[in-house]
Amino acid sequence: MDESKKLWGGRFEGKTDPGFAGFNNSFRFDQRLFEADVTASIAYCVALEGAGVLTAQEGSQIRRALEEILAKSSFNDSSAEDVHSFVEARLIELTGDLGRRLHTGRSRNDQVATDFRLWLREAIDDLNTIVRDVQTALLDFAETNRGVVIPGYTHLQRAQPVLVAHWCLAYFEMLARDRERLREVRTRVNVMPLGSAALAGTSFPIDREVLARSLGFAAVSRNSLDAVSDRDFCVEFLSACSLIMVHLSRLAEDIILYATIEFGILELGDAIATGSSLMPQKKNPDSMELVRGKAGRVFGDLLALLTTLKGLPLAYNKDMQEDKEAVFDAYDTVASSLRVSATVLRNISVNSERASASTGYMNATELADYLVRKGMPFREAHEVVGKVVMRAIELGKELDQLSLADLREFSPLFAEDVHVAISLEQTLSSKSQVGGTAPKLVASALAAARQSLNE
């Protein structure tokens, strides 16, 4: 480490051990905060002018230098301790002693918390856009396959038929909640710690409200000890990221499973599949497997930070530098997983024939409901239809292939209208209360979903 560039050399006589310096330094990863750091420094410079610490002329000289640093810095100075030291060293190179005044009443503790919140605010906005694109891909896929019916499963056993659009809308809803969560996290991210200084607050008359507004923060932190040591906003972000990954991994699993020969519901396009180096016939869903796998990594980021924060004494501790890599890694992982998921959705097709939902007794509930409408208590109808299914299995037939005479052996309530009542169309259209898979409802849910994306 370049000893002359240290922000804290005065009290020291000996040199920093190079191995420890490498361990301590964060510049290799916190350089991602560069823009935020310079932006916050420019705003802080204005606040120092307002507080009478810098004259207007000194302030504008510092700000011009910071603009220049922002415009043309390259990060090849590997000796910087962290992004804050890096920017300050550049500033001093450009402005000499004047640059040494910028850190008045400020600490890297409130600085890093401010930078990180500025960075995260943008990252959240980016993620919001990318999640929205996956939602768009889901709606496009639903519309391309309007009217296509697939088996719905519980316990991974055939249960009741649903429209493929209904399946798409299920994931759409999960992602809508994810975006809502990101919005909520953003309101707690968007609070400014700057002016808390090291831990006790600043000794200079900085107008924190004005400073906050100039950086687009909606509020200022109320307690300096809390402000420099709070990383709740990171944990909340990682938690929102984790849920996004839970949702993507379930989507991934459905697609992986439905694209097997055993299920045969979906076909993977060449653009998002890979082959085997040994088995010539293989077409593997690596894209979705990686998304499913990366969920674990993001949960790891969440757990790592929770564990780091647990039991830390107030206020700032260097442990907290570990927040950065967890958050950056989660952001990168979630962003790339979302992008790939959207691409997959744009490169799969439904195998309408294989998707057929007319086998597997998925209209058994319909048959029981039929008896209920004829006056039989549901529990009894359930029992009767269970016996009918056993018979159908013996005969190797589906329920709608049984004759009226076959059915009447189980109940005299079966009549001529029974076959219509258990048809696939009827099975679907009867699910007509809000949230159901009746085609009319799904069509209006699709339209509402599309509409909500434009809001």
Active site residues: 155, 276
d(CA 137, CA 35) in angstroms, rounded, equals 32
Residue written as tokens 């979630």?
Answer: 334
Stretch that binds ligand ARG, among 153-161, 296-304, 316-324, 355-363 (CB under 6 A): 316-324
Candidates 49, 82, 110, 230; binder of ligand ARG (CB under 6 A) is: 82
Binding mask 168-197 for ligand ARG (x = CB under 6 A): ------------------------------
**328 or 361: CB nearest ligand ARG:** 328
- Give 258's contacts (C-beta < 8 A, 6+ positions apart): 150, 264, 265, 266
The answer to whether 294 contacts ligand ARG (rule: CB under 6 A) is: no
CB of 321 to ligand ARG, least distance (A): 4
**82 or 329: CB nearest ligand ARG:** 82
189: buried, middle or exposed (CB in 10 Å: 19+, 13-18, 0-12)? buried
Per rule CB under 6 A, count of chain residues that contact ligand ARG: 11
Cβ(319)–Cβ(273) below 8 Å: no
Alpha carbon distance, N-terminus to C-terminus of the chain:
51
Backbone angles phi, psi at 219, to 5 degrees: -160, 170
b/e per residue 79-96 (b: at least 16 CB within 10 A): bbbbbbbbbbbbbbebbe
Cβ(48)–Cβ(204) below 8 Å: yes
**49 or 82: CB nearest ligand ARG:** 82
The answer to whether 26 contacts ligand ARG (rule: CB under 6 A) is: yes
Tokens of residue 347, six digits = 């490169």
CB of 114 to ligand ARG, least distance (A): 11
Backbone angles phi, psi at 154, to 5 degrees: -130, 145
**73 or 317: CB nearest ligand ARG:** 317
Alpha-carbon torsion (336, 341, 343, 344), positive or negative: positive
Binding mask 105-144 for ligand ARG (x = CB under 6 A): ---xx--x--------------------------------
**32 or 108: CB nearest ligand ARG:** 108
**9 or 147: CB nearest ligand ARG:** 9
The answer to whether 316 contacts ligand ARG (rule: CB under 6 A) is: yes
CB of 53 to ligand ARG, least distance (A): 21
The answer to whether 79 contacts ligand ARG (rule: CB under 6 A) is: no
CB of 196 to ligand ARG, least distance (A): 12
CA angle centred on 190, ends 186 and 195, rounded to 5°: 155
Cβ(345)–Cβ(141) below 8 Å: yes
* Binding region for ligand ARG (CB under 6 A): 26, 30, 82, 108-109, 112, 316, 318, 320-321, 324
